[in-house]
Amino acid sequence: MIFFNIAVSTLAFLSVFCGQVALAQSHSTVELTNSTSRKSQNLSGEWRYSVDPYRVGQLGFHGGAPSANALRFADTNIDAALAANPKTFFEQDMEHAPQIKLPGAWNATQTELRYYEGLMWYRRHFDNIATQNERAFLHFDGANYKVSAYVNGALVGSHEGGFTAFSFEITEQLRAGNNQITLGVDCAHNAQSVPPQVTDWDLYCGVTRPINVIYTAQTFINSARIRLLDNGNLGGSVQLNGAQKSNQNIEVSIPELNKKIRTVTNADGYANFEFPRPRGLVKWSPEHPKLYQVEFVTNTDSLKDKVGFRTITTRGTQLLLNDKPIYLRGISMHEEELGTNPSRNMTSAAARELFKHIKNGLNGNFVRLSHYTHSETTLRLADEMGLLVWGEIPVYWTVDFNSPHSLEIAQQTQQEAIARDFNRASIIIWSVGNETPISESRNIFMLKLVAQTRSLDPSRLVSAAIMASRKYENGKATITVDDPLIADLDLLAVNTYNGWYSEDELSALPQIEWVSRADKPMIFSEFGADAKYGVHGDAKNAKFSEEYQALYYQKTLEMADRIPFLVGLSPWILKDFRSPRRQHPIYQEGWNRKGLLSEIGQKKQAYNVLAKFYKVRESKPQD
């Protein structure tokens, strides 16, 4: 029986890994809206792990099937197998492997794993707590980059993409009592990956966000969406999953507003609803981040979510929140907690500490969550604290724009991001990429993402950090926003580093003229200069000093104030962050030093420069 299990597991393995089958083909379609509110079993804590740099758990000798004695995921009692047959042997033993705490990137655990970007296996056991007639799903908030999950030796699903939530149903694989789960997480990136193999941030490999087993009714609420419509009404949709999904009564209520409506699902389990805006409804805004508890109820399931209601639109070069002009006083932020050895374990406390700097320290109202979808914990905290959000997918730099696989992963990632965060009032912008070099294939690729994003969520603005051209004539620099994408974007966004990556004198920055080829609002999605905390020097010439960074901010902000169509900023970046490409032995040491805070939260001089600028901006009436 022991070796029969190995054989069955090997067949399951081969169906996925051999023949170069794309992992994207098997990604989950289960949404599980507001997964944290459901009956669940948290699998955070100690797991066994095994490094597999040569992928012997996937491929055997000469590229054939993996050897039975190397299968990390097999539901095999190795001690019993060796006792039954002393002549056999195993080259892995997950039950006696070293331990690691999840969630958390493996890069932060040991020096020898700091730059490891290969295959890692994880294992733990859990007890099945399902009651009769309940279904069970293995739910990931995110794991980087490719994941294959096995329950009791059986493959339950695979997923590609490191920053979005996904689920696999495991109802049939669970047994009473103790169950074994094994994960194969492969962090290798290539030209077709999204993002590609070269970035300017630490990839943070492995299971970096919580894993839960979620238990549901046989027919459950899979998706529940609600928002403030353009016509002033409230509306949304509910989608059920299960054999009894059709012709089911749905009740949607907002108890605080004394509002309750009923609808019925169609044959596919979907129900749309719309009703007049309740009297007394307070719109969500950074100044008043009002959230209402919305309840969705069926005959077999119920779901609650805290939702804010607001609108975001544009008019000419204006950005309008709830029909009023707004200036985005923002900053960019990576998903990396403060500390000398972060592991991308962004808990609520870690995210709150960073958001307090933005909201209270910098006088901000906006955060660009770069360069990928951040955790659900972070987004819900933005709702609560009143921070507007730019959400982004990792279509970064030189993605293979000719690759159908790259486009598929990018579209899958956007779909998963929108599905999870549709009800988050804080998100006002979906970005489809960052600093992608202009070409015909890039334009086609990006425009497909723009169209998909707008079709999935017409209630938010679509943007991207795009390119601009610069010319220097008669002693004057002019930057023209002329990227071919501008006609299809709602909000223009440009990264500008004049005076850092160029040799411009900082004193000349305010005289740079900005021209746009579109009558649309624009933000500076990035600008910044490196400074190592505690390094001081001549403000005009000493790059990497706090003084140079502070003067750079002063002059860039003066330039920004002269651009009539500029409606906000998200400078680069809140805190210093890990970046393997940054290796100056004195100033960088594997860190990008453009943060206004050091990696442990020390304020650099430029922090106060931006805070003062935003304080003045906060008191200015918007045109």
Per-residue confidence band for 15, with pLDDT thresholds at 50, 70 and 90: very low
The C-alpha atoms of residue 345 and residue 142 are separated, in whole angstroms, by 11
517 burial level (CB within 10 Å; 0-12, 13-18, 19+): middle
Enter the tokens of residue 539: 């403000």
**What pLDDT is recorded for position 541?**
85
| Residue 25 clears pLDDT 90, i.e. is over it | no
Strand 566-569 and strand 292-297: the pairing is unpaired
Three-point CA angle 216, 95, 51, nearest 5°: 95
Comma-separated ranges of CATH 2.60.120.260 domains in the chain: 2-215
Per-residue confidence band for 22, with pLDDT thresholds at 50, 70 and 90: very low
Contacts of 427 (CB under 8 A, 6+ apart): 379, 382, 389, 391, 421, 460
pLDDT tens-place string over residues 149-172: 999 999 999 999 999 999 999 999
The C-alpha atoms of residue 154 and residue 139 are separated, in whole angstroms, by 16
**What pLDDT is recorded for position 325?**
98
| Residue 17 clears pLDDT 80, i.e. is over it | no
**What pLDDT is recorded for position 392?**
98
**What pLDDT is recorded for position 619?**
86
pLDDT tens-place string over residues 229-279: 999 999 999 999 999 999 999 999 999 999 999 999 999 999 999 999 999
Three-point CA angle 74, 79, 85, nearest 5°: 95
pLDDT tens-place string over residues 381-430: 999 999 999 999 999 999 999 999 999 999 999 999 999 999 999 999 99
Contact 549, 606 (CB under 8 A): yes
pLDDT tens-place string over residues 349-387: 999 999 999 999 999 999 999 999 999 999 999 999 999
Strand 427-434 and strand 461-466: the pairing is parallel
Q: Residue 246 CB: number of other CB atoms within 10 A?
A: 15
Top pLDDT among 476 and 553 is at 553
The most distant pair of C-alpha atoms in the chain lies apart, rounded to whole Å, by 87
- Give mean pLDDT, residues 79-104: 94
Per-residue confidence band for 8, with pLDDT thresholds at 50, 70 and 90: very low
Comma-separated ranges of CATH 2.60.40.10 domains in the chain: 231-308
pLDDT tens-place string over residues 286-309: 999 999 999 999 999 999 999 999
Buried b (16+ CB within 10 A) or exposed e, 106-124: bbbbeeebeebbebbbbbb
Q: 231-308 maps to which CATH number? A: 2.60.40.10
| Residue 274: HSE in the Cβ half-sphere, 13 Å Cα cutoff | 6
What are the distances in angstroms from CA 594 to CA 200, 226, 353, 498, 505? 12, 38, 19, 14, 19
The C-alpha atoms of residue 399 and residue 220 are separated, in whole angstroms, by 38
Contact 110, 343 (CB under 8 A): no
**What pLDDT is recorded for position 508?**
95
Contacts of 335 (CB under 8 A, 6+ apart): 163, 344, 346, 369, 372, 374, 375, 378
**What pLDDT is recorded for position 475?**
85
pLDDT tens-place string over residues 581-622: 999 999 999 999 999 999 999 999 999 999 999 999 998 877
Per-residue confidence band for 68, with pLDDT thresholds at 50, 70 and 90: confident
The C-alpha atoms of residue 35 and residue 607 are separated, in whole angstroms, by 37
State the chain's mean pLDDT as an integer.
Answer: 93
| Residue 515 clears pLDDT 80, i.e. is over it | yes
Class in CATH terms, 313-617: alpha beta
**What pLDDT is recorded for position 110?**
83
Percent of the chain residues topping a pLDDT of 70: 95
pTM of the model: 0.94
- Give mean pLDDT, residues 53-77: 90
The C-alpha atoms of residue 9 and residue 72 are separated, in whole angstroms, by 10
Per-residue confidence band for 28, with pLDDT thresholds at 50, 70 and 90: very low
**What pLDDT is recorded for position 82?**
92
Tell me which architecture the domain covering 2-215 has in CATH.
Sandwich (2.60)
Contact 314, 463 (CB under 8 A): no
**What pLDDT is recorded for position 336?**
97
**What pLDDT is recorded for position 543?**
95
**What pLDDT is recorded for position 14?**
36
Percent of the chain residues topping a pLDDT of 90: 90
Choice among 53-62, 176-185, 582-591 with the minimum mean pLDDT: 53-62
Comma-separated ranges of CATH 3.20.20.80 domains in the chain: 313-617
Three-point CA angle 576, 581, 583, nearest 5°: 75
Per-residue confidence band for 316, with pLDDT thresholds at 50, 70 and 90: very high
Question: Tell me, what amino acid is at 413?
Answer: T
- Give mean pLDDT, residues 418-446: 98
Contact 319, 365 (CB under 8 A): no
- Which value, to the nearest 10 degrees, does the dihedral of the CA atoms of residues 447, 449, 455, 457 take? -130
The C-alpha atoms of residue 435 and residue 480 are separated, in whole angstroms, by 15
Contacts of 458 (CB under 8 A, 6+ apart): none
Choice among 20-24, 108-112, 416-420 with the minimum mean pLDDT: 20-24
